Amino acid sequence: MKKTFVLDTNVLLQTPFALYSFGDNDIVIPEVVLEELDRFKKDNSELGANARHAARLIDSLRVRGNLNEGISMDNGGTLRVEMNFNDVQLPPSWQAHSNDNRILKVCKGLSEKGEHVFLVTKDIFERIKADIIGVVAQDFFAEQVPAYDEQYRGRLEVYATEGKLNEFYNKGKLLPEDVFGVNTETGKQEDIKLETNQFLIIHSCNNDKQTALGRFDGKEIVTLKFLLEHPFGVTPRNAGQKFLQEALMLDADKAPLVIVKGPAGTAKTFYSLAVGLHKIMAEQGKLYRKILVCRPNVKLDEDIGFLPGTEQEKIAPFLRPVIDNLEILVDNDENERYSSEKELKDKIDELFDRKIINTEAIAFIRGRSIVKQWVIIDEAQNLTPKQVKGIITRAGFGTKIILLGDPEQIDHPFLDIRTNGLCYAAEKMKGSHLCYQVTLTDEECERSDLAYEGAKRM
Residues of the chain whose pLDDT is less than 70? 143, 297-318, 332-339, 364, 366-367, 455-456
pLDDT tens per residue, range 303-348: 545 445 555 666 666 678 888 899 889 876 666 666 678 888 888 9
- The C-alpha atoms of residue 240 and residue 441 are separated, in whole angstroms, by 8
400-405, strands of its sheet edge to edge: 357-360, 290-294, 373-377, 400-405, 257-261, 435-439
- The C-alpha atoms of residue 257 and residue 268 are separated, in whole angstroms, by 15
Instruction: Flag whether the pTM goes above 0.95.
Output: no
Q: What is the full DSSP assignment across 192-206? A: --PPTTEEEEEEESS
Which residues, including other chains, have CB under 8 Å from residue 55's CB and lie 6 or more apart? 37, 38, 41
- In degrees, rounded to 5, the angle at the alpha carbon of residue 401 between the alpha carbons of residues 432 and 16 is 75
HEC assignment per residue over 399-442 = CEEEEEECCCCCCCCCCCCCCCHHHHHHHHCCCCCCEEEEECCH
Rounded to a whole number of angstroms, the CA Rg of the chain reads 26
Residue 239: phi and psi, rounded to 5, are -60, -40
Q: Is 122 left (phi over 0), alpha (psi -120 to 50) or beta?
A: alpha
Architecture of domain 145-223: Roll (2.30)
- The C-alpha atoms of residue 418 and residue 267 are separated, in whole angstroms, by 23
Q: Where are the domains of the chain?
A: 4-138, 145-223, 237-457
The answer to whether 280 and 374 are in contact (CB under 8 A) is: yes
Task: Report which of 254, 280, 282 is spatially closest to residue 374, judged by C-alpha positions.
Answer: 280
Helix, coil or strand: residue 285: coil
- The C-alpha atoms of residue 257 and residue 234 are separated, in whole angstroms, by 22
Do the domains at 4-138 and 237-457 have one common CATH topology? yes
- pLDDT score for 210: 92
- The C-alpha atoms of residue 422 and residue 154 are separated, in whole angstroms, by 13
- The C-alpha atoms of residue 48 and residue 57 are separated, in whole angstroms, by 14
- pLDDT score for 183: 86
Q: How many CA atoms lie within 13 A of 150 on its CB side?
A: 5
The answer to whether 292 and 370 are in contact (CB under 8 A) is: yes
Break the chain down into helix, strand, coil percent, rounded to 5.
Answer: 40, 20, 40
**For residue 136, what are the CA distances in angstroms to 68, 104, 130?**
23, 11, 7
From the candidate CATH numbers 3.40.50.10490, 3.10.129.10, 3.40.50.300, 3.90.1150.10, the one assigned to the domain spanning 237-457: 3.40.50.300
CATH code: domain 4-138 is: 3.40.50.1010
